C-alpha cells in the first residue's frame, strides 16, 4: 500500500488541478474578455495555470519548512517548462478546430506575438540558468528574475494598448459550466453554481471564484509534493528527477487544458501564448517570488545550491529545447501542421528518456 500511495497522491492532484482549472478558466474568460488575441493567454490564463508551480515552491519552503527541497521545486519548474513548450503546443495543434467546430489540419500564428513571447521566455530561461551557475542563489537573483517578468508585463500592456478599438475585437461569450447538483458541483469545484447560482459574472464574483480555485490549486500542489517525494523513494530515483517528470506533468495540467480548449475554439494565439507565457512566469515569478519572500522572512541573503553535473545538464537542456520549439514554430508560423506537433512530442520524449539515464 505504501508503494502505491505516492502515485495515488499524484493522480489525485491531477484531478484537483483539472477541475480547479475548469473553474479558473470560466472566471478568467470573463476578466480577460476584452483582451486582444494572445494577451489573455499570456496573462490571465498563464498566471492562473502556473499557480501549481508557484505553490509547489511555497510548499517546499514554508509548509515542509525545508529549503533543501528547493531542488525538487526547481525540478518541477524546469520539467514544466519542457512539458509546456513541447507537449502543450503539440496537442493544441493536433486537437485544433475552426470556429465552426471542425478539425483543421494546420493552424496559423501571428508572427509578432510569437516573437514577443519567444523573446521573453528565452530571456527568462537564460537568466535563470546563469543564476543557477553559481554556488548559491541570492536575494538579488530573485529580484532580477521578478523584474524580468515585470518588463514582460510592460511589453504586454503596450501591445494591448495597440489593439484598443480594433475592429477585430469580438464580443465576449459567457461559458457556463453545467450545474449538475450540489454534490457534483462540490466535487468539480463549480463555485459559480454553488455560490452565485450560475449567474453571469461580475468583476467581484469572478475574482472570488478565481481566489477559491487558486486555494484548491494550492492544496493540490501540497499533495503533489507529497506524491513526488514518495514516488522518488518507491522508484529509487533522485527526488529531483521525480519532480522533473511526475511533478512537472501534473502541475502542467491547467496549462494543457486551457490551451487545448482555446485551440478547439479556434483561438490559436492564446493556445500557444499560454504555455510560452507560463514558462516565462514559471522561471521568474513562480520560482523566484516565494524565494524572495523566504529571504525576507528569514532575514537571509542567499541559499546554497548543489551545483552538480545534473543541474548543469538540466540548465542547458531547458534553453536548448525551448530554442528548438521556438524555431519550429517561427519557421512555420503561417502553416503550423501536425508534423510540427509530432516533432515536438518526439523532442519531449527524447528529452525525458535522456534525463532518466543522465540523472541517476
How do residues 178-222 score in pLDDT, each as one tens digit? 677 888 888 888 898 889 888 888 888 888 998 898 888 888 888
CA angle 193, 251, 271 (to 5 degrees): 75
Identify the pLDDT of residue 293: 92
Where does the pLDDT of residue 243 fall: very low under 50, low under 70, confident under 90, or very high at 90 and above? Answer: confident
Where does the pLDDT of residue 308 fall: very low under 50, low under 70, confident under 90, or very high at 90 and above? Answer: low
Asked whether the predicted pLDDT for residue 60 surpasses 90, the reply is no
Tell me the three state secondary structure of residue 138.
strand
Where does the pLDDT of residue 25 fall: very low under 50, low under 70, confident under 90, or very high at 90 and above? Answer: confident
What is the DSSP-derived secondary structure letter of residue 134?
Answer: S
User: pLDDT tens, 273-289?
Assistant: 777 878 888 888 888 99
Tell me how crowded residue 279 is: count the other CB atoms within 10 A of its CB. 32
Q: How far apart are CA 81 and CA 89, in angstroms?
A: 12
Asked whether the predicted pLDDT for residue 166 surpasses 70, the reply is no
Asked whether the predicted pLDDT for residue 91 surpasses 70, the reply is yes
Residue 286 and residue 58 in contact, taking contact as beta carbons nearer than 8 Å: no
Identify the pLDDT of residue 316: 79
Where does the pLDDT of residue 44 fall: very low under 50, low under 70, confident under 90, or very high at 90 and above? Answer: low
- Return the higher-pLDDT residue of 75 and 208: 208
C-alpha cell at 49: 495555470
Task: Give me the mean pLDDT over the 223-245 stretch.
Answer: 81
Task: Give me the mean pLDDT over the 260-267 stretch.
Answer: 82
Lowest mean pLDDT among 103-117, 185-199, 229-243: 229-243
Q: How far apart are CA 128 and CA 281, in angstroms?
A: 12
Percentage helix, strand, coil for the chain under 3-state DSSP, each rounded to 5: 75, 5, 20
Asked whether the predicted pLDDT for residue 153 surpasses 50, the reply is yes
Lowest mean pLDDT among 30-39, 93-102, 113-122, 170-179: 170-179
Q: What percentage of the chain exceeds 70 in pLDDT?
A: 89
Identify the pLDDT of residue 295: 92
The model carries a pTM of 0.78
Task: Give me the mean pLDDT over the 252-276 stretch.
Answer: 78
Sign, Cα dihedral of 95, 101, 105, 106: negative
Identify the pLDDT of residue 143: 95
- Return the higher-pLDDT residue of 123 and 167: 123
- Each domain of the chain, given as residue ranges in start order, spans 5-162+178-358
Identify the pLDDT of residue 173: 53
Task: Give me the mean pLDDT over the 139-152 stretch.
Answer: 93
Where does the pLDDT of residue 57 fall: very low under 50, low under 70, confident under 90, or very high at 90 and above? Answer: confident
- Return the higher-pLDDT residue of 4 and 41: 4
First and final CA of the chain: distance in angstroms? 26
Lowest mean pLDDT among 10-24, 53-67, 156-170: 156-170
Where does the pLDDT of residue 43 fall: very low under 50, low under 70, confident under 90, or very high at 90 and above? Answer: low
Asked whether the predicted pLDDT for residue 30 surpasses 60, the reply is yes
For the domain covering 5-162+178-358, report its CATH number. 1.20.1420.30
Where does the pLDDT of residue 167 fall: very low under 50, low under 70, confident under 90, or very high at 90 and above? Answer: very low
Lowest mean pLDDT among 68-72, 117-121, 280-284, 331-335: 68-72
CA angle 287, 133, 227 (to 5 degrees): 40
Amino acid at each position: 500500500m505504501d508503494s502505491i500511495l505516492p502515485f495515488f497522491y499524484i493522480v489525485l492532484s491531477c484531478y484537483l488541478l483539472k477541475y480547479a482549472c475548469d473553474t479558473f478558466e470560466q472566471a478568467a474568460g470573463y476578466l480577460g474578455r476584452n483582451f486582444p488575441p494572445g494577451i489573455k493567454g499570456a496573462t490571465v490564463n498563464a498566471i492562473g495555470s502556473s499557480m501549481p508551480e508557484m505553490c509547489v515552491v511555497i510548499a517546499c519552503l514554508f509548509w515542509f519548512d525545508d529549503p533543501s527541497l528547493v531542488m525538487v521545486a526547481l525540478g518541477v519548474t524546469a520539467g514544466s517548462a519542457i512539458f509546456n513548450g513541447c507537449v502543450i503546443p503539440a496537442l493544441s495543434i493536433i486537437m485544433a478546430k475552426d470556429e465552426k467546430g471542425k478539425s483543421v489540419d494546420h493552424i496559423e500564428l501571428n508572427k509578432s506575438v510569437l516573437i514577443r513571447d519567444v523573446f521573453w521566455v528565452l530571456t527568462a530561461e537564460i537568466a535563470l540558468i546563469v543564476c543557477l551557475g553559481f554556488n548559491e542563489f541570492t536575494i538579488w537573483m530573485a529580484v532580477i528574475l521578478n523584474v524580468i517578468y515585470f518588463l514582460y508585463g510592460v511589453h504586454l500592456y503596450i501591445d494591448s494598448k495597440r489593439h484598443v478599438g480594433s475592429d477585430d475585437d469580438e464580443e465576449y461569450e459567457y461559458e457556463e459550466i453545467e450545474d449538475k447538483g450540489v454534490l457534483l458541483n462540490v466535487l468539480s469545484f463549480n463555485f459559480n453554481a454553488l455560490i452565485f447560482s450560475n449567474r453571469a459574472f461580475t468583476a467581484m464574483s469572478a475574482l472570488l471564484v478565481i481566489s477559491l480555485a487558486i486555494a484548491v490549486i494550492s492544496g493540490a500542489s501540497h499533495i503533489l509534493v507529497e506524491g513526488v517525494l514518495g514516488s522518488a523513494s518507491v522508484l529509487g530515483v533522485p527526488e529531483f528527477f521525480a519532480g522533473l517528470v511526475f511533478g512537472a506533468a501534473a502541475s502542467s495540467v491547467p496549462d494543457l487544458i486551457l490551451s487545448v480548449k482555446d485551440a478547439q475554439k479556434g483561438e490559436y494565439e492564446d493556445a500557444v501564448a499560454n504555455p510560452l507565457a507560463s514558462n516565462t512566469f514559471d522561471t521568474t515569478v513562480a520560482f523566484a517570488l516565494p524565494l524572495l519572500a523566504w529571504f525576507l522572512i528569514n532575514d537571509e541573503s542567499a541559499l546554497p545550491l548543489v551545483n552538480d553535473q545534473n543541474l548543469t545538464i538540466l540548465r542547458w537542456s531547458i534553453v536548448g529545447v525551448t530554442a528548438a520549439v521556438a524555431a519550429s514554430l517561427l519557421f512555420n508560423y503561417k502553416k503550423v501542421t501536425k508534423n510540427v506537433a509530432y516533432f515536438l512530442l518526439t523532442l519531449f520524449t527524447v528529452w525525458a528518456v535522456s534525463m532518466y539515464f543522465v540523472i541517476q
